[in-house]
Amino acid sequence: MKPLLKELLARTGAGEHVVVSTIVESVGSSPRELGASMALTGNGDVFGSLSGGCLESDVLGLAAEVMSDGLARTASYGPEDSDDLFAVGLTCGGYIKVLVRRFSPEHAEALHQLDVWITQGLDVMVASRMDTMEGPTDFLATDGETSIGSLGSAGLDEVVQRQAPSLLRSGWTGILRLGSDGRRDETDVPIVVESFRPRPRLLIVGAIDAAGALAQMAQALGYHVTLADHRPIFATTRRFPSADCILAQRPSEVLASWNADERSAICVLSHDSRIDVPYVVAGLRSPAFYVGAMGSRKTHLDRLDRLSRAGATAGELSRLHSPIGLAIGARTPGEIAAAIIAELVSEATKQDPTTDVRTQSVPAGLSSANT
């Protein structure tokens, strides 16, 4: 739902109803990830996507019914097993469940607060009841400490709020099952949990042509992109319009403000050992899941020697991706960027399983089970 939030907020704030269809369960191969959403407005506008077309017409039919009566519905879709051109099914062979629910003007306040938390870069989540959504008390938004909205039961609100910090730490999206009063030993109330984490961050070092292509691709994948180069004449918004932030600073100045976490990545494309070494050493000693450096194999061997002399350990050096990117014979700036982004996506999936989970169970320590 996160990509639709601004539009959803604008529509409900203007007094409109909007029906949002969301993938809440997924088994096997499926066209989109858990949490992918598509919306239908009262005047027939559609934004977002669930599948690229193989089931969206059917879902829109359900959305029209939900728009009319306000009652949430779920629909399940499995493998396509018919030669009928108009049959509904997944050609990829998986199974998904879609929750179709209506957001009303009464939800605008909670949606606004959700948008504020996301804008502030906080981990936030939305919990929604699947069993009944007849009015404005069908979902609760929380940043783990403060909450707004309600699931229609003080007991449910309390339990979900108590479990929120653990769910947010794992970035979990899935279904909890609780009792109607929040009892954890009952399973009659299914609750969809959608976790929204801040955009992962990518630091690109070196204002070269490949950096521009890489910034554009990374932003399309949802990264917050910072480009750094100590030469102000090259590090400009005109040359790198896709970068969220441009730092025309020396490495020491950039690194003083760069606080990497486990979802951060750094790509060093500068071709200058005086620049490469401090950035690579800092990256290897940070929690960043990906550190890559551009250069030939000969440059790589020379860089390893310089890094060792700068104090990098064998364990730290084992984390370095150099030469950067997958070996696909890339030559042009666009091809080089594609090789890097492919390796970045591969490493992100290894490090953060939530980026490619099709069914998710509740994190360890929580009592309810995903279905």
- Give the domain ranges of the chain: 1-103, 107-198, 201-351
Strand ranges, E, within 90-210? 95-103, 124-129, 139-142, 147-150, 174-178, 189-196, 201-205
3-state secondary structure of 230: coil
| Percent of the chain clearing pLDDT 70 (strictly above) | 85
**pLDDT at site 214:** 97
Least confident window among 27-41, 206-220, 274-288: 27-41
The pLDDT score that the predictor gives to residue 199 is 86
pLDDT reported for residue 353: 45
Give percent of the chain above pLDDT 90: 42
pLDDT higher than 80, residue 103: yes
Higher per-residue pLDDT: 93 or 252: 252
Range in 170-174, 231-235, 346-350 with the lowest mean pLDDT = 170-174
Virtual CA dihedral for 42, 25, 50, 106, nearest 10 degrees? 20
pLDDT at 133: 54
Q: What is the pLDDT of residue 177?
A: 86
Report the distance separating Cα 331 and Cα 167, nearest Å: 43
Q: What confidence score (pLDDT) does residue 14 get?
A: 92
Q: In this predicted structure, what is the pLDDT of residue 132?
A: 63
| pLDDT band at 250; cut points 50, 70, 90 | very high
Tokens of 330: 């890339």
Q: Per this entry, what is the length of the chain?
A: 371
Quote the pLDDT of residue 370: 31
Residue ranges of the alpha helices (H) in 185-330?
209-220, 251-257, 273-284, 297-309, 314-317
Return the amino acid letter for 252.
S
Q: By mean pLDDT, which of 85-89, 190-194, 337-341 is the weakest?
A: 85-89
How do residues 182-200 score in pLDDT, each as one tens digit?
666 556 788 888 888 888 9
Section 141-170 average pLDDT? 87
Report which secondary-structure segment, H or E, holds 138. none
The residue among 312, 256, 255, 323 whose CA lies nearest residue 281 is 312
Q: Is the pLDDT of residue 24 over 70?
A: yes
Block residue for tokens 């890094």: 307
Residue 365's pLDDT is what?
Answer: 42
- 40 burial type by CB count under 10 A (0-12 exposed, 13-18 middle, 19+ buried): buried
Quick one: DSSP state of residue 90? B
Q: How much is the pLDDT for 40?
A: 93
Q: Could you tell me which CATH number the domain at 201-351 has?
A: 3.40.50.720
Phi and psi torsions of 282, nearest 5°:
-60, -40
Beta bridge partners of 361: none
Strand order of the sheet with strand 18-27? 46-48, 37-41, 18-27, 95-103, 73-77
The tokens describing 32, both together, are 């989109």
Tell me if 3 sits within 8 A of 24, measured CB to CB. no
